[in-house]
Amino acid sequence: MAVRAVRGATQLERDDREHMLERVAEMVTDVLSANELDVDDFISVIFTSTSDLVSEFPAYAARRLGFDDVPLICTRELEIEGSMPRVVRMMAHVETDLARKDVTHVYLHGAAALRRDLVKVRSVPDQDQDPTP
């Protein structure tokens, strides 16, 4: 069993508490599913959000999914001119038998444009997708 880092990101259409909880839960659930993980496999999760998201802590969505005793923390992304708005990212440290090259990182909605260099990116089509890179 090895410790691996798995990444995820999602873009929100608006800064709304329920929308935040829905999108973050979708991202976390997809990371679990794509890597055949259980909550018990998680060591810790770092969530970041852009400064235009203030309606809820992204970690609260994970708590609602059963991440009760997993250390979670939220922080801000750097404010770089021209960066994509309304994005929540996660980096989770997990115990898994997957080789590093077999870990699936999940990028949803507009955030799929953030890491086109990854071979295995799961993208959810979004008609209201923000084309800002």
What CATH number is associated with residue 110?
3.30.1330.40
59 belongs to a structural domain? yes
40 belongs to a structural domain? yes
Torsion of CA 54, 93, 40, 59, to 10 degrees: 0
| Host domain of residue 61 | 2-122
Q: Is pLDDT of 125 > 90? A: no
128 belongs to a structural domain? no
Q: Is pLDDT of 43 > 70? A: yes
84 belongs to a structural domain? yes
Give me the number of domains the chain comprises: 1
36 belongs to a structural domain? yes
Confidence of residue 118 (pLDDT cuts 50, 70, 90): low
32 belongs to a structural domain? yes
Q: pTM for this one?
A: 0.86
Confidence of residue 133 (pLDDT cuts 50, 70, 90): very low
Q: What are the tens digits of pLDDT across the range 55-104?
A: 999 999 999 999 999 999 999 999 999 999 999 999 999 999 999 999 99
106 belongs to a structural domain? yes
